[in-house]
């Protein structure tokens, strides 16, 4: 075989080797890119889930905070009504404040807390004994505490 034939065979082998190596390198690169894309998607999904859970927790905290404030306003108005029943002295707008506060509790709920608040207001309207009023107030406080201190629902 002549030197030219050997050179052509060597060149052909080098080209074929380069093509084969390039082909396998290309396929490996495609697999790596696909794996990186899937890993990125999983990471993005995890981040989105974390953000979603954080937003849900923040919304739950906001709702509980609003309820807590509503319950406190009602309790303050009820205390003023109870004090008026005991002493016979009160402000002229105590009844209106109590009605507005009751409306807030009924709106915010839940039904158990709204029912306890309504019971306290009904007892105040009937001018029941101070002991009955205190028991009704404590029933409201207990229902409200159960609501705002309940563990968040598991998702």
Q: Which residues, in sequence order, are CB contacts of 99 under 8 Å at separation 6+?
A: 121
Q: Which residues, in sequence order, are CB contacts of 110 under 8 Å at separation 6+?
A: 147
> What whole-number percentage of the chain has pLDDT above 90?
38
- Is residue 24 within 8 A of residue 31, CB to CB? The reply is no
pLDDT for 142: 94
User: Could you report the per-residue pLDDT of 46-91, keeping only the tens digit for each?
Assistant: 889 998 998 998 888 888 899 999 999 999 999 998 888 887 776 7
Per-residue pLDDT at 92 exceeds 80: no
Per-residue pLDDT at 152 exceeds 70: no
Going by pLDDT thresholds of 50, 70 and 90, the confidence category of residue 154 is low
The Cα 66–Cα 40 span in angstroms is 39
- Is residue 93 within 8 A of residue 121, CB to CB? The reply is no
DSSP state of 110: -
Domain 3-149 of CATH type 1.20.120:
yes
- Is residue 94 within 8 A of residue 84, CB to CB? The reply is yes
pLDDT for 90: 66
Report DSSP letters for 66-122, one per residue: HHHHHHHHHHHHHHHHHHHHHHS---TTHHHHHHHHHHHHHHH--HHHHHHHHHHHH
Per-residue pLDDT at 43 exceeds 70: yes
User: Could you report the per-residue pLDDT of 118-148, keeping only the tens digit for each?
Assistant: 999 999 999 888 889 999 999 999 999 998 8
Domain residue spans of the chain: 3-149
pLDDT for 153: 58
- Is residue 85 within 8 A of residue 130, CB to CB? The reply is yes
Cβ burial 24-51 (10 Å sphere, 16+ → b, else e):
eeeeeeeeeeeeeeeeeeeeeeeeeeee
CA neighbor of 137 nearest in space, from 69, 89, 49, 78: 78
């Amino acid at each position: 075989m002549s030197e030219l034939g050997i050179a052509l065979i060597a060149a052909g082998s080098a080209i074929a080797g380069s093509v084969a190596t390039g082909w396998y390198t290309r396929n490996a690169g495609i697999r790596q890119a696909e794996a990186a894309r899937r890993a990125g998607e999983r990471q993005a999904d995890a981040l989105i889930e974390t953000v979603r859970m954080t937003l849900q927790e923040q919304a739950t905290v906001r709702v509980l905070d609003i309820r807590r404030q509503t319950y406190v306003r009602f309790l303050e108005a009820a205390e003023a009504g109870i004090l008026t029943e005991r002493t016979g002295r009160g402000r002229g707008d105590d009844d209106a404040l109590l009605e507005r506060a009751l409306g807030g509790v009924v709106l915010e709920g839940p039904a158990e807390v709204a029912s306890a608040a309504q019971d306290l207001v009904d007892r105040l309207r009937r001018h029941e004994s101070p002991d009955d009023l205190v028991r009704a107030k404590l029933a409201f406080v207990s229902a409200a505490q159960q609501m705002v201190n309940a563990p968040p629902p598991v998702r």
